[in-house]
Amino acid sequence: MLSPQLLVLFGSQTGTAQDVSERLGREARRRQLCCRVQALDSYPVVNLINEPLVIFVCATTGQGDPPDNMKGFWKFIFRRNLPSTSLCQMDFAVLGLGDSSYAKFNFVAKKLHRRLLQLGGSALLPVCLGDDQHELGWPSRFTLQLLQEAPRKCSEELSVAGTDPQGPPSELQPFLAPMVTNQRVTGPSHFQDVRLIEFDISGSGISFAAGDVVLIQPENAASRVQQFCQLLGLDPDQHFMLQPQEPGVPCPERLPQPCSVRRLVSQYLDISSVPRRSFFELLACLSPHELEREKLLELSSARGQEELCEYCTRPRRTILEVLCDFPHTASAVPPAYLFDLIPPIRPRAFSIASSLLAHPERLQILVAVVQYRTRLKEPRRGLCSSWLASLDPGQGPVQVPLWVRSGGLKFPETRDTPVILVGPGTGVAPFRAAIQERVARGQIGNVLFFGCRQRDQDFYWEAEWKELQERGCLTLITAFSREQEQKVYVQHRIREQGPLVWELLERRATPSTCRPACRTP
């Protein structure tokens, strides 16, 4: 090609496909190829007919589903009316990222490869299938100009608040929802801290149905932000401007221009995530310290993967902790390279645990605060759940950036169609929304199997369930696994209630015809 052009398009759910795609982009640029790297849904798919060379990097989620950021592309590319010569000028390669322990291993990559061939594309090589079960310098994307003075206008506040929203709240323009309550709902002696959190969504334009999910954009803890800035010699109050190094590379849309270092570290850089192999590879290129550089190169090499697993993956060591272990290297990292080294903080999805019919202008979630121990001294903590648990609306106004997405759970709309809901622990959250919605609409036949450890410690919404049961709106069947010598789980209760379950499944009977079999154990 006279002017080498390469396009790398990725579909990523957890960030791995994006990480691999950006590595491909760096390798291409190192070889003097002009390369663009984009998420599939952010790329105008109609332009694909003009692309001469494309690499698709696709993860597979769930039971053979495409990642969220390629669902629009997926729907378009499988249109039946697309001509069979649509992509006849395109050479392509497909790299799939999957896990061979799942039945539909790399299903998305395999299906996409076949579809591109059907549309006339020319495959450069057979579909490449990455397997998570297998053992097995570069220029920065941006230039970063530090400003000597803070900007007069607070562009950060304007960009977050979304003063002129276009359409419903989204990832690029979330709604800053006031937190109304943040209540622990597990007993004081229970091993897990579970929170019922309520947000005020009045005036947001947000609507949702049972089964939908809310996405929340979390922040790093202030103490970790301070530690990171000290380690890298950054002033958190200093502002900067970003400029892409190459055409076609957009600046991060979630960051205002200008932006403070504090905003960058607290709300964008995922310093609490576990680094991938590429992190060590890139960090080694930046290291001025001989011993640290040798160790980083060893950890990023093929022969060093077992040591990397022992050092980082198994104990869940974070990016911040790794940088603390390599202080000479950390202090030498140019700020512009932070965007290549550290992935952005991803939103976390929670099942919505309430119905707008029962709680107008409110949105509730049930959050289990993630905390566990590895061989490291400091306990591992979930970024979003720990951040949410730390917020106290009783101490002053608290706002959380969020938006809503359609979920995978769908419930029957007909009045007489019964539902059997099995929701142990916090998994009961979306079923509470469904029950509230169905009761408000007069839908009957609501059967809930709920399981937890102990009645007095983690029986979520006990009073609410019992009140609905007394009204004849719910059949509640419980399993408390730790209240007797032999553990009892929901599957045991389902087996005991076999006649009821079969009656509902096979004959679609209403509860009135089988109510005597529905006693709460």
17 is in an annotated binding site: yes
5 is in an annotated binding site: no
Q: Which two tokens stand for residue 45?
A: 């798919």
16 is in an annotated binding site: yes
286 is in an annotated binding site: no
106 is in an annotated binding site: yes
DSSP H stretches of helix in 309-454: 319-325, 327-330, 338-341, 383-390, 429-440
104 is in an annotated binding site: yes
300 is in an annotated binding site: no
DSSP percent split of the chain into helix, strand, coil, nearest 5: 35, 20, 45
100 is in an annotated binding site: yes
491 is in an annotated binding site: yes
Per-residue burial over 363-388, b if 16 or more Cβ lie within 10 Å, else e, is bbbbbbbbeeeeeeeeebbbbbbbbb
Q: Which two tokens stand for residue 110?
A: 């395999």
14 is in an annotated binding site: yes
On whether the CB atoms of residues 473 and 442 are closer than 8 A, the answer is no
103 is in an annotated binding site: yes
For 440, the 3-state DSSP assignment is helix
98 is in an annotated binding site: yes
433 is in an annotated binding site: no
On whether the CB atoms of residues 206 and 176 are closer than 8 A, the answer is no
Backbone φ and ψ of 223, nearest 5°: -65, -35
373 is in an annotated binding site: no
349 is in an annotated binding site: yes
482 is in an annotated binding site: yes
96 is in an annotated binding site: no
On whether the CB atoms of residues 447 and 477 are closer than 8 A, the answer is yes
On whether the CB atoms of residues 119 and 84 are closer than 8 A, the answer is yes
489 is in an annotated binding site: yes
350 is in an annotated binding site: yes
199 is in an annotated binding site: no
202 is in an annotated binding site: no
Q: Which two tokens stand for residue 21?
A: 């795609």
Beta bridge partners of 452: 480
351 is in an annotated binding site: yes
97 is in an annotated binding site: yes
384 is in an annotated binding site: yes
203 is in an annotated binding site: no
102 is in an annotated binding site: yes
458 is in an annotated binding site: no
CA distance 358 to 343: 39
Q: Which helix (H) or strand (E) holds 243?
A: strand 239-244
Annotated binding site for NADP(+), which residues?
426, 481-482, 487-491
For the annotated binding site for FAD, the residues are: 316, 348-351, 382-385
Specify binding-site residues for FMN: 12-17, 59-62, 97-106, 132
Task: Give binding residues as ranges.
Answer: 12-17, 59-62, 97-106, 132, 316, 348-351, 382-385, 426, 481-482, 487-491
